[in-house]
Chains A and B, each alone.
Chain A
């Protein structure tokens, strides 16, 4: 390989590497500058979501392993909340589900409320899952009654949007079962440790 050939080969590589290095520096600077703000806005958003359910909350703890928010008032647990995703008609429906804290067994689980974080359901039809006429139906309902009325439950489906409605109901039911199992297990372990 002649010298000029080598130069032709190597210069583009070096130039591209140089551009990438400069770009990395800029990205690193932007990231370290915005990181804190992004974290803050996310925390604010989570707190607002929890406040929607527990208006009186003063603190919350997030358990990453269980993906569970425990909500406190005056250092006492007043409820639990967690996010879940339902497969709606137009895509994923992100929900936050809040539970009353005073349960010690499977059949005492009461839903405090649910709210929709994001969705892409059809405007005018499935979109109504965000309205309190639908999502408000979950307030204070025992988990065993979380089913559409046609399946013997207490939740009325939105007319014309059965898929969206049942997606929400199924997601709430399944996730509540799954999470409360974990919560109850933890309670039992703690009790055994205590006794």
Chain B
């Protein structure tokens, strides 16, 4: 039991894929322009990560070593295509704003990384907990980044069309630089620096 909880906590805190391992930065930087995108991306990544970890873990004893990477890629690509088609069918507006970054989950290093480093060597329950932990870790990171970018870039916070609050002064004169790609780099670097400095992340 303790082992399973450790697997879960590992992804969220100790080896958070974005904030510690610095994996999967491409979607994190690119789609974190609004909280809606962050939630949509997290849901997609979580689904693909859990399913791929389960499948890879189930077939780990039968997969020949030499073709394991192609096998993992085929599995991940299939799952991603399923997510992409389902999103296009039922959530067209979200699918439009996430755009190319849904198909690009195929090459997201978090997913292949967990399949190769963890799921192919561990039992199914552990693999599920690892995927959930990593997925939540990714979700927390991308949510923090998009929260900061949306607040600074537009001056107000709205989630799925409901305005939650707006900062007087900033909403009239927002700083659109934080919505632009450059803002993503500023936010993530300042965030990492703050976490390092405050000791939340141990360097090393």
Contacts and interface: CB of A to CB of B under 8 A. Distances in A.
Contacts of A11: 64
Contacts of B71: 15-16, 19
A11 B75 CA distance: 18
B82 A27 contact: yes
B63 interface: yes
Interface in A142-191: none
Interface in A1-43: 11-13, 15-16, 19-20, 23, 26-27, 30-31, 34, 37-38, 41
A45 interface: yes
Contacts of A118: 96
B81 to A, nearest CB: 6
Q: Is the interface of B mostly helix, strand, loop or mixed?
A: helix
15 contacts: A12-B66, A15-B64, A15-B71, A16-B67, A19-B74, A23-B75, A23-B78, A26-B78, A26-B82, A27-B78, A34-B86, A34-B88, A38-B89, A122-B176, A123-B179
Nearest to A41: B92
Q: Is the interface of A mostly helix, strand, loop or mixed?
A: helix
B92 to A, nearest CB: 5
A71 to B, nearest CB: 23
Interface of B: 62-64, 66-67, 70-71, 74-75, 77-78, 81-82, 85-86, 88-90, 92, 96, 153, 176, 179-180
A99 B78 CA distance: 43
Contacts, number: 53
A16 B92 CA distance: 33
A16 B70 CA distance: 8
B74 A23 contact: yes
A38 B88 contact: yes
A41 B81 contact: no
A134 B179 CA distance: 23
Nearest to A127: B176
Given A13-B67, A15-B71, A41-B92, 14 more contacts: A12-B66, A12-B67, A16-B70, A19-B74, A19-B75, A23-B75, A26-B78, A27-B82, A30-B85, A34-B86, A37-B90, A41-B89, A45-B92, A118-B96
In the complex, which of the residues A31, A37, A118 has the most CB atoms of chain B within 10 Å of its own CB atom? A37
Interface in A69-96: none
B85 A15 contact: no
Nearest to A22: B78
Contact of B85 (A12, A34, A123, A124): A34
Contacts of B75: 19, 23
Contacts of B64: 11-12, 15
A44 to B, nearest CB: 8
Contacts of A37: 89-90
Contacts of A15: 62-64, 67, 71
Contacts of A30: 81-82, 85-86
A146 B62 CA distance: 66
B122 to A, nearest CB: 20
Contacts of A12: 64, 66-67
Contacts of A23: 74-75, 77-78
